[in-house]
Structure 1
Amino acid sequence: MSAKYFQVAQGVWGLKQYFVNVYMIANRRSAGKGWVLVDTGIKGSEKDIIAAAEKLFGPGTRPAAIVLTHGHADHSGSIKELLKHWNVPVYAHKLEIPYLTGLSSYPPADPGVGGGLMTMLSWIWPVKPINISRNLREIDMYEGIPELPEWKVIHTPGHTPGHISLFLPLNTTLIAGDAFTTTVTESATYLLGNIKHISGPPKYITTDWKAAEHSVRELAELQPRIAATGHGPVMRGRELTTALNQLSEDFKTLALPENGRYVKRAAIADERGVRYVPPVKVGAKQTIGFAAAASVAAFLLVRSLW
Structure 2
Amino acid sequence: MKATQISDHIWSLKTWIMIPIHVWIVIDEDGVTLIDAGIPQMANGILKFIKRLQAGPLKRILLTHGHSDHVGSIKRILQTYPVPVYAHRIEIPYMEGDLPYPRRKKAVQFVTKGLSQALQQNEQGNFHTIGGLKPYFTPGHSPGHVAYYHEKDQVLLAGDLFTSKNGNLKRPMPIFTADMQEAIRSSSILLDLNPKRLEICHGDSVYSPADQLASYQNKYKNQ
TM-score normalised by the chain length of structure 2: 0.86
CA distance in 1, matches of 2:193, 2:184: 15
CA distance in 2, matches of 1:15, 1:127: 29
Alignment gaps of 5+ in structure 1? 110-125, 184-194, 257-306
1:175/1:227 contact within 8 Å kept:
yes
Alignment gaps of 5+ in structure 2? none
CA distance in 1, matches of 2:15, 2:103: 24
Aligned CA RMSD, in angstroms, stands at: 2.4
CA distance in 1, matches of 2:48, 2:152: 29
Shift of 1:107: 3.4
Q: Counterpart amino acid of 1:36?
A: T
Helix, strand or coil at the partner of 1:128? coil
Shift of 1:134: 3.9
Shift of 1:108: 4.5
Helix, strand or coil at the partner of 2:109? coil
Shift of 1:232: 1.1
* Equivalent residue pairs, number: 217
Q: Deviations over 1:33-69 (max 9, x none)?
A: 20100001112210111112222226xx641000010
CA distance in 2, matches of 1:166, 1:226: 12
Of 135, 138, 145, the residue aligned with 1:156 is: 138
CA distance in 2, matches of 1:127, 1:229: 26
2:139 aligned with 1:139: no
Going from structure 1 to structure 2, the CA distance change for 1:172 and 1:158 (only over 3 Å counts) comes to same
CA distance in 1, matches of 2:44, 2:218: 41
2:190/2:210 contact within 8 Å kept:
no
The 5 A counterparts of 1:120-199 are 128-142=108-122, 144=127, 147-148=130-131, 150-183=132-165, 195-199=166-170
Shift of 1:130: 2.4
Q: Counterpart amino acid of 2:140?
A: G
- The structure whose RCO (Cα within 8 Å, separation 6+) is larger is 1
- Could you say which structure has the higher helix fraction? 1
- Could you say which structure has the higher strand fraction? 2
The 5 A counterparts of 1:25-174 are 25-28=26-29, 33-57=30-54, 62-108=57-103, 128-142=108-122, 144=127, 147-148=130-131, 150-174=132-156
Larger Rg: 1
Shift of 1:215: 0.3
Going from structure 1 to structure 2, the CA distance change for 1:251 and 1:77 (only over 3 Å counts) comes to same
Identity of aligned residues (%): 30
1:191 alignment partner in structure 2 = none
CA distance in 1, matches of 2:110, 2:74: 10
1:39/1:66 contact within 8 Å kept:
yes
1:141/1:153 contact within 8 Å kept:
no
Q: Deviations over 1:61-120 (max 9, x none)?
A: 6410000100001111111222222211000001111123331232346xxxxxxxxxxx
CA distance in 2, matches of 1:159, 1:89: 24
1:284 alignment partner in structure 2 = none
Going from structure 1 to structure 2, the CA distance change for 1:10 and 1:108 (only over 3 Å counts) comes to same
Going from structure 1 to structure 2, the CA distance change for 1:80 and 1:205 (only over 3 Å counts) comes to same
Q: Deviations over 1:139-170 (max 9, x none)?
A: 1133635642x322100000000000011233
Shift of 1:127: 6.6
Q: Deviations over 1:198-243 (max 9, x none)?
A: 2111111111123112101233332111111111112224xx3432
TM-score normalised by the chain length of structure 1: 0.64
2:220 aligned with 1:251: yes
